[in-house]
Amino acid sequence: MSEAELARFLGEERVVTCASIGPNGRPHLMPLWYVVDDGVVTAWTYAKSQKVRNLERKPQATLQVEAGDAYAELRGAMLECDVEIVHELARVTAAGAAIAIKYLGIPNATPDTPEVRAYVGPQAAKRVLLRFHPTRIVSWDHRKLSR
């Protein structure tokens, strides 16, 4: 995919699979809701989750976003990333609001929309912000194979 195609793809898709390394040395795969902020994949998750413990130990992850059902429709991206874990409540809250705006489907939502605030408020103090900074990206689009 071109840079523009990749940006559009990541903006449209809804779930990223995050692979971190568990305490036993095996990959730990978990789905996350996410947004892309200036090329950085941003998600929030519970601070006590296994993925956060893994990323605290080794702040690297591989992300995968994929789409398509038939072979000729498959497309996706794998992003090898350095990971920044942010505990600052204001930044966690802002990320939660951006995610809520993307996923809750509320027309014209803003961070101050009551439904967004109701979604983010009770959870923010228990969560951290994960910022995935890509160091290598591999993408594919099987729809281009027949061209």
Question: Domains of the chain, with CATH numbers?
Answer: 3-141 (2.30.110.10)
Averaged pLDDT, 37-61:
96
The strand ranges marked E within 10-126 are 16-21, 27-32, 35-37, 40-46, 60-67, 75-86
What pLDDT is stored for residue 79 in this prediction? 98
Residues 63-106: tens digit of each pLDDT: 999 999 999 899 999 999 999 999 999 999 999 999 999 999 88
Q: How confident is the model at residue 146 (pLDDT cuts 50, 70, 90)?
A: confident
Closest CA relative to residue 93, chosen from 124, 114, 116: 124
Mean pLDDT, residues 107-135: 93
Average pLDDT over residues 44-69: 97
* pTM for this prediction: 0.93
Which tens digits make up the pLDDT trace of 5-34? 999 999 999 999 999 999 999 999 999 999
pLDDT at 12: 94
